Chains A and B, each alone.
Chain A
C-alpha cells in the first residue's frame, strides 16, 4: 500500500508527533487565551463571561494606545536600521577580504548570547561605563545614564539593532552566495559597476531574502520584550513600554489577566495583518524586479 502511494509512513512519524506537541503547548494555550479574553478572569478564582467588554475597554485605555505607538515607532526604526546595516555587512563579508571568517564570528557573537544577558550587560555599560567616560572627558551628553532620560529608547534601539544584525547578515550572506558569478560578469561587460550594479543586479536577485528579513524583523520587533524588561522595565514613565511589556506587567502583576489577553489577541491580529500586507507588497516587488 505504501509503495502504491509512494509515501512512507516515516514522513508521518516525522511530522505528526511534532504537530501534536505544537498543538498542546502552543495552539491550545493560545485558544485558551482567546477564550479568557471574553471573561473577567483575574488569572485565578471564579470568572464570568463579559462578552466584548475587555475589547471595548482597550480603546479607552490610553496606556495601550501609547504602548502601540511606541511599539510601531520602535519596530519601524529597528527594522530599517537592521536591514540597512546587515545588508552592508553582508556585502562586505561577501567580498574577497582578509579576516573574513574572524569578522563573521565577531558579528555573529551577539546572536549567541541571550537577549536578557545582553540587556543586563548594556544596562551596566549605560549606567556606569559610559557616564564614567563622559564625566572624565567632560562630555555632558554622555555623563548621565541614557536609560534614565527621554532618549532611553535610543539606547534600547542600539542594543536591539546590534544584536539582531547577526542573523539578518547571515540570511543576506546566504542570499548573496546564491547569485551566479556569471551575472556579474555579464554586468561588467555591460558597464554596470559599483552602486549601479548593486541596485540593478544584486538587490533584485536577493529580493526574496529581503522579504524574509523584513517580515521577520517587523514581527520580532513588534513583540519586543526581553531587552526592554532587562534595560528599562518600560520606563522612565511609560516611554519604553512596548505592547508585550504592557501585557506582561498588567496581566501578571496587575491582575488584569483577561483584559490583557484581549490585548494580546489584538496584538496577534495586528502582527498577522502587518506581516501579510508586507508579504503581499514585497513579493509583488520581487516579481516585478525579476
Chain B
C-alpha cells in the first residue's frame, strides 16, 4: 500500500515537473484537498507540501488574486495554492458539488450560489477566527441573511463589495449644466433637461436581460416595504400589493432610453456610453473597466439611484462581490484559514480594491478612485442596501420578466396593463419557484 502510494507520488511529481518544463498549465493530477499522494509528493525536500485549491467565481479579479497568492506562498513555504476561475463558475461549482469535489477555499459572490453552498452544509463556520475583527459588520450582516434560516454564523467572510446605481457621463452633465440629482423629482428634471438639450438620457442594454436587474434592485431597495423579503417568502405579501410604484418608475426610465434598447447588448451599450452617446447608464461599478477599455479618458462617476423623494431612503446598492469560504471537508483547514487571514489584512485588502474599483468590506481599506467618488461617502457611512434579488428564490427568473416588460413598453402596449401584468407574473413565478 505504502509502496503504491509512493509510486503514485513519484509519478505525479515527475508529471508535474515535466509539465512545468514544457510550460503548460498545471495539470489536474493534484486532487483538491491535500490528498495523501500530494502531501507525500515532495518528501524529497524534507518538508510536507500542502496543496490547496482556490476557486474563484469572478473572472475580473484573477490577476490580482494570483499576485496575492504568490506573496502568500512566499511567506508560507510548504503551502501551494492552485487558482482556478472557470467560465460560468456558478454552474461549475454546482456540478462539482454533485461529485462531492469541493474546492478548499472559495472566493465567490454573496449570491444564490453561496446560498446553495452554505445551505448544503459545505462551508466551515469561521466566526471564531481572529481576523473577524477586521470585517465590517454591515457586510457581515448581509452574508448572515443569506445563510440557511439566516443563522448568524460566518460561513462566508465578506471581502469586497460592488455598488450599483446610476453611472453618469460627468462631462455631459457639466455641458448641460446639471447637478447630481438626490430625489426622484430632481431626477425627472435632469431627464427633461437632457432631452431639451438633445441628449439621450439613458443607454439601456436589455438584449442581455440581466442588465434589467441592477435598475430594479436600485428601485426596490429604496421603495419596497421593510420586511418584504421575509414576508414574501412566507406568502404574507405580494408584488402586486407593494411594487406598483417601483414598476411605474421603472417604466418611466424605459421611456427615456434609446429606441433600440431591447436589441442593444451589454458590450455595445458600454461602447456607446463610453463614446458619449448617452448621459446615464443603470448598472454597477463593474462596468467601469469596460468603459475604460473603449475610452481610457472617459470621465464617469456613480450616484445612488434616487428612487424616492425622501433622500434618506435613496441607498447605494452594494452587495458582497467577493467573500471567502473554507470547505468543511478540506483536509488542510489550518492552511486554508491562514490564507483567508492573510487576505483579510488591511494592506492586502487595500491593494485588492485599488486594482478592482471595488469597495472593501475590511476595516482600514478604502476606495479612493475618482470614478466612484460619488458614492464613497454613502458607502463609508453604511448607507447601503443589498441587492433585493439576492433574496429571491434562485429559480425565479426576474430578468426574463423585466425583459418582457421592456418589450411591452417598446411596442407601445398600454402602460397600466403592462405594469399589472408584470406584477402579477412576478407573484405567479415567484410562487412557482418558491418550492424547495
Contacts and interface: CB of A to CB of B under 8 A. Distances in A.
Interface string B4-16: 0000000000000
12 contacts: A44-B94, A62-B428, A63-B397, A127-B265, A146-B263, A148-B206, A148-B260, A148-B261, A149-B262, A237-B401, A254-B395, A255-B395
B411 A254 contact: no
A20 B397 CA distance: 40
B404 A145 contact: no
B404 A239 contact: yes
A40 B436 contact: yes
Interface string B180-210: 0000000000000000000000000011110
A252 B91 contact: yes
A236 B262 contact: yes
A104 interface: no
Contacts of B401: 237
B98 A148 contact: no
Binding site secondary structure of chain B: helix
B410 interface: yes
A250 B97 CA distance: 17
A150 interface: yes
Question: For A128, A235, A252, which residue has the most chain B Cβ atoms within 10 angstroms?
Answer: A235
B404 A127 contact: no
B364 to A, nearest CB: 37
Interface in B384-436: 394-397, 400-401, 403-407, 410-411, 428-429, 432-433, 435-436
A145 B410 CA distance: 12
A235 B400 CA distance: 7
Contacts of B411: 149-150
Nearest to A128: B268
B98 A44 contact: yes
A121 to B, nearest CB: 14
B407 A236 contact: yes
A239 B407 contact: yes
Main SS of the interface on chain A?
Answer: loop
Given A45-B120, A62-B428, A127-B268, A250 B403 contact: no
Nearest to B401: A237
Interface of B: 90-91, 94-95, 97-98, 100, 112, 116, 120-122, 206-209, 259-265, 268, 394-397, 400-401, 403-407, 410-411, 428-429, 432-433, 435-436
Interface residues of A, number: 39
Contacts of A148: 206-207, 260-264, 407, 410
Contacts of A42: 94, 116, 120
B209 A131 contact: no
Contacts of A119: none
A141 to B, nearest CB: 12
Contacts of A43: 94-95, 97-98
B403 A237 contact: yes
Contacts of B120: 42, 44-46
A43 B122 CA distance: 14
A85 B433 CA distance: 42
Nearest to B259: A144
A249 interface: yes
Interface string A120-159: 0001001110010000000000011111111000000000
Contact of A144 (B121, B260, B400): B260
Interface string A223-241: 0000000000111111101
Nearest to A241: B400
A237 B435 contact: no
B108 to A, nearest CB: 15
A-B interface, 6 closest residue pairs, ranked by CB to CB distance from nearest: A145-B263, A237-B404, A148-B263, A148-B262, A44-B97, A254-B395
A6 B259 CA distance: 74
A254 B263 contact: no
A61 interface: yes
Nearest to A149: B262
A5 interface: no
A237 B260 contact: no
Nearest to B93: A44
Contacts of A239: 404, 407
Contact of A250 (B121, B208, B395): B395
A60 B433 CA distance: 11
A259 to B, nearest CB: 8
B57 to A, nearest CB: 13
B432 A233 contact: no
B432 A60 contact: yes
Contacts of A73: none
Contacts of A256: 395
